[in-house]
Amino acid sequence: MPTEFELNRNTGLPSMGVHTFKILRFSEEMGGSGYPYIRYTVRVEDPGEDQGKEVLCMISLSPAAAWKKDQFLDALGAPKKGKATADKFVGHTFQANIAHELVDGIKRAVFDEYLPKEDQPSLFGSAPSLGDSDKDEEMYKFEGQAEEDAFPF
């Protein structure tokens, strides 16, 4: 019997501009610089033609790229202290500005800037969504963090 497969398309470049993304899954890789990075697969949540498109979001843990990691954490509303693992952010949303760049002759979506959580306009009501409502009530306590500083989501 032939293999059946989905005809739905969720690839392609999201349009340039600000989008809301949901983190679906991740993998941890080692970069050429000798520092690890996290490869998140994220999905556009905005209503419209880009909704459902999936793109890769790379977060380097290199000291030289700390500013970009900090932007990403601020976009998620992560605490300013403590430690976390990449899996803690799966299911959560953030907003970022997408640009297009040519990489090896191929046009790619690039996360140009991550928007701080407090500056993000909500597309879904009075506050940006934090993902599944079951997780909204949970409190994650990160290593080295007081209970009152725990990351709620």
Domain-wise residue ranges, the chain: 17-146
CATH, range 17-146: 2.40.50
Q: What is the pLDDT of residue 152?
A: 43
Q: Which amino acid is at 73?
A: L
**What confidence score (pLDDT) does residue 119 get?**
67
**pTM more than 0.75:** no
**What is the structure's pLDDT at 9?**
67
Token code pair at residue 133: 């409502």
pLDDT at 120: 62
E strand residue ranges, the chain: 17-30, 36-44, 54-60, 93-103, 106-114, 139-140, 151-152
Residues of the chain with pLDDT under 50: 122-153
